[in-house]
Structure 1
Amino acid sequence: MNLDALSKYRPLYAFDLLGFGRSSRPKFGSDPDEVEKMFVQSIEDWRQAQDLNKMILLGHSFGGYLVSSYALKYPDRVKSLVLVDPWGFPKLEPDGERARRVPLWIRALVRILSPFNPLGVVRAAGPWGPGLIKRFRADFKTRYPEVTEQDENTVFEYIYHCNAGSPSGESGFKQMNQDLGYAYKPMLSRIGGLRKDVPVTFVYGARSWMDVNSGHETQNLLPDNHVEVYSVKGAGHHVYADRPELFHEIIDTVCDALD
């Protein structure tokens, strides 16, 4: 629902992160620093293979964290950063407001399941995996109407097969997490080192669990950068699917300002 609109006026490259989707699935180690370096280097290797000089980098969720890390290491290659409901920005505050809002039983469940990969239950379900996703993520049916109107099972089958293989990127992501989904190396502790000439745009879903305050805090940490923060009404974590037209308008605005 996004590719045609975003490629209408400029070249668009869309790729699966290393270890996810149809990208190769290497084995990640257990050191969070090394895992992050491996992800970031894969983006740089991809850029070199595509012979691109400078890019507007757009990342969603975990992708937003990784392109931020990439921009810190390779600022010469980044024309602008667009972070869509990015994961991994806030610092862990065990006694903070967010932690207090999490019920005790959920905290206990997180600790019990922490040794396992997040989607292990989907793989363990075998042929019942697509049905399991369909049951717990029924929202996908209404989120992708152009696909589900033709065959409602297509999206569920796709999500299942993207995650039914070896849990490579998923394992890497797990190593970069600490309690309750916080990043081992929070981006707010590092983003202040971004070069001054790299503009940053945050696009949050107003109904998302991601904290829009991270975007505003980044504005304070980067007073010499151009930092915009959008909160899209009626959208959750998947902003690009919940409000695609408005999402395209925001991205076009960002890109047009750089042309």
Structure 2
Amino acid sequence: MVLHVYAIDILGFGRSSRPKFDSDAVKAEKQFITSIESWRKAMGLDKFILLGHSFGGFLAASYAIKYPERSVGLRHCPSLLQKARPDLTRKFAGLLPNAEEDIPSYLYHCNAQQPSGETAFHSLMSGFGWAKHPMVHRLDSL
């Protein structure tokens, strides 16, 4: 069995495009989910395991609710960044031939662009990171 792993930037984050998101939380969330579904179709995937950390975990759950026939699993890794970080350049030095240049460049380009996903994230949240449309009230749909 061949296993393929895809690491994608969520629409509006990282080096992905920066569309204008709706300021309504439900509509903005739908835009994210539609972008994941469009990616799935473009990749020709029938079913897949969608893994997400933090906001990505929230979107993974939302996607699984909307498209239960597409998701064969749902994973949320709350400590992924804590474990992967003290020094990203050193962490990836053995995996990437130009890690000393590529990692800082990637981080710069992720943060130097106009905020888009960040703005949409803000419209989905209430207060300090609490979802306006909480997943806890929808998990029974899985």
Shorter-chain TM-score category? 0.7 to 0.9
Q: Does 1:145 align with 2:80?
A: no
User: Which residue matches 1:48?
Assistant: 41
Can you list the C-alpha shifts for 1:41-67, whole angstroms capped at 9, x where unaligned? Answer: 001111111111111111111111001
1:169-180 alignment runs, 5 A limit: 169-180=117-128
Inter-partner Cα distance in structure 1 for 2:13 and 2:44: 23
Superposed CA RMSD:
2.4
* Counterpart code for 1:145: R
Contact 1:141 1:148 in 2 (8 A): no
Q: Does 1:35 align with 2:28?
A: yes
Q: What is the SS of the residue equivalent to 1:76?
A: coil
Are residues 146 and 164 of structure 1, via their aligned partners in 2, closer, same or farther at CA, if it must alter by over 3 Å?
same
Q: Does 1:161 align with 2:117?
A: no
TM-score by length of 1: 0.47
Inter-partner Cα distance in structure 2 for 1:146 and 1:173: 28
Unaligned runs of 5+ in 1: 1-7, 87-138, 195-259
Find 1:187's aligned residue among 102, 127, 135: 135
User: Which residue matches 2:9?
Assistant: 16
Inter-partner Cα distance in structure 2 for 1:66 and 1:173: 11
Are residues 68 and 190 of structure 1, via their aligned partners in 2, closer, same or farther at CA, if it must alter by over 3 Å?
same
* Counterpart code for 2:87: T
Q: CA offset at residue 158 of structure 1?
A: 2.4
Contact 1:141 1:152 in 2 (8 A): no
Inter-partner Cα distance in structure 1 for 2:89 and 2:124: 30
Question: Aligned residues: percent identity?
Answer: 47
Q: What is the SS of the residue equivalent to 1:15?
A: coil
TM-score by length of 2: 0.83
Q: Which has the larger radius of gyration?
A: 1
* Count of residues paired in the alignment: 135
Q: CA offset at residue 142 of structure 1?
A: 2.9
Unaligned runs of 5+ in 2: none
Q: CA offset at residue 20 of structure 1?
A: 1.3
Q: What is the SS of the residue equivalent to 2:49?
A: strand
